[in-house]
Structure 1
Amino acid sequence: MYLIFEHLAAYNQPEEQKFLIGLILMVPVYALESFLSLLDSSAAFNCEIIRDCYEAFALYCFERYLIACLGGEDKTIQFMETLSLTDSSTPLLKEAYAYGIVEHPFPLNCLLRDWYLGPDFYQYVKIGIVQYMILKMICALLAMILQSFGVYGEGKFEWKYG
């Protein structure tokens, strides 16, 4: 909590600090969730759902914090594009140099093509993070509904559990 108050006291870079505070709050949220789960095991499920939702928000805060540190969306895309450019000092062998290219590990490289850093990659990352947030919230809501009907079985793979 001290770190949060220090950032609020020296709030001179709001674009970076508002997302950084969201990230720092992750520690107290996890600690409070763990403590409440220890006190009352029946409330552990609800605390876990809240923690999962905050985890999705913290991932969004991390992405926005990184973009703010790089100077905004346009500068982030420019930065990625400069990594993709090659010059005379670039080695001729592709295997020795893959700067600006995201290569996939073995099983995926047979199915997916390499990703080149730039505006398309940036958009895919943004869309992926938002999709993760939405799916995490939907799954949390489904878990709460299934729990209320008594058919939520975490880690159980049986026909009667959802």
Structure 2
Amino acid sequence: MDLSRMSREQITLVGVGFCVMVTMHFTVQLLSQHLFYWKNPKEQKAIVIIILMAPIYAVDSFVGLLDIRGSKAFFMLLDSVKECYEALVIAKFMALMYSYLNISISNNIVPDGIKGREIHHSFPMTLFQPRTVRLDQHTLKLLKYWTWQFVAIRPICSILMITLQILGMYPTWLSWTFTIILNISVSLALYSLVIFYHVFAKELAPHKPLAKFMCIKGIVFFCFWQVKSLTLFLFTIDKFILIFKRS
């Protein structure tokens, strides 16, 4: 393969394709390790769902590069599938931490050793919650609901956005309205994860969830704001060009 004779687009596709193959290799390797040593299904089901986040993101990015002039509605659908899966990953990560601590909300199981601990909320959550809250069954349910609300809101917004895009009724102001709603929703979900980890950092330390959480948080927020920043930048450039032509 002679890279000197290839265009920038072809080099980009080759590079991204190589990265996708590397991602698939490590994903299959991790999945095979869990499938061959399937000793704790409750935890490993959540781990498998989290692992699959990497290849889904990789394939979505690669397909998006194959035809950047393709149907906007199609690529919005493709991104929506990825983002809905992202919401599921956040919820499963919370479920995984609950499992590590032997907490079961559905069966009303909360170990006595973790009851009564204090949760310290920060602004702006103190507008809706007391600054200090004692940990109990109700508090754990609330943290779970804060995480799962994103799992519900993300698909609803995606369906509305795709439908409006197909109908040609998707102005810029509406796009930013969905952006604000989704940003608040995902921030609340991630906030509940941060609060939970902060309270149980000592108990969770042997499972080393911090690195996994930072990867998930980084992927979610980097991809989310990367798209919005580029959209805002291109929108601003278009406005400047339009003003320049009029003048």
After TM superposition, the score normalised by the length of structure 2 is 0.51
* Kept in 2: contact 1:23–1:61 (CA 8 A): yes
Measure, in 2, the Cα distance between the counterparts of 1:158 and 1:47: 20
Give the corresponding residue for 1:49.
80
Give the corresponding residue for 2:168.
150
Give the corresponding residue for 1:90.
none
Which runs of 5 or more structure 1 residues have no equivalent in the other structure?
A: 85-99
Of 19, 35, 53, 1:8 maps to 35
Alpha-carbon spacing, 1:26–1:78, altered in 2? closer, same or farther (3 Å): farther
Alpha-carbon spacing, 1:110–1:126, altered in 2? closer, same or farther (3 Å): closer
* Kept in 2: contact 1:67–1:76 (CA 8 A): no
Aligned residue pair count: 142
Of 33, 41, 50, 2:60 maps to 33
Measured against aligned partners, the alpha-carbon deviations of 1:16-49 in whole angstroms (never above 9, x if no partner) come to 1011000011111111111111112334322211
**Matched letter for residue 123 of structure 1:** K
Measure, in 1, the Cα distance between the counterparts of 2:101 and 2:93: 12
* Kept in 2: contact 1:77–1:118 (CA 8 A): no
Which runs of 5 or more structure 2 residues have no equivalent in the other structure?
A: 1-26, 179-247
Is 1:141 equivalent to 2:159 in the alignment? yes
Measure, in 2, the Cα distance between the counterparts of 1:77 and 1:56: 28
Instruction: Give runs of aligned pairs for residues 12-91 of structure 1, distance below 5 A.
Output: 12-41=39-68, 42=70, 43-73=74-104, 76=110, 78-81=112-115, 84=116
After TM superposition, the score normalised by the length of structure 1 is 0.76
From the two aligned structures, give the one with the greater helix fraction. Answer: 2
**Matched letter for residue 112 of structure 2:** Q
Measure, in 2, the Cα distance between the counterparts of 1:26 and 1:65: 15
State the Cα distance separating 1:157 from its structure 2 match. 1.9
Q: Greater relative contact order: 1 or 2 (C-alpha under 8 angstroms, separation 6 or more)?
A: 1
* Kept in 1: contact 2:102–2:111 (CA 8 A): no
State the Cα distance separating 1:137 from its structure 2 match. 1.1
Measure, in 2, the Cα distance between the counterparts of 1:39 and 1:79: 54
Measured against aligned partners, the alpha-carbon deviations of 1:100-155 in whole angstroms (never above 9, x if no partner) come to 322222454355313321111111112222222111111111111111112224xx
Q: Which runs of 4+ in 1 moved over 6 A?
A: none
Is 1:101 equivalent to 2:118 in the alignment? yes
Give the % identical residues.
26
Measure, in 2, the Cα distance between the counterparts of 1:12 and 1:52: 30
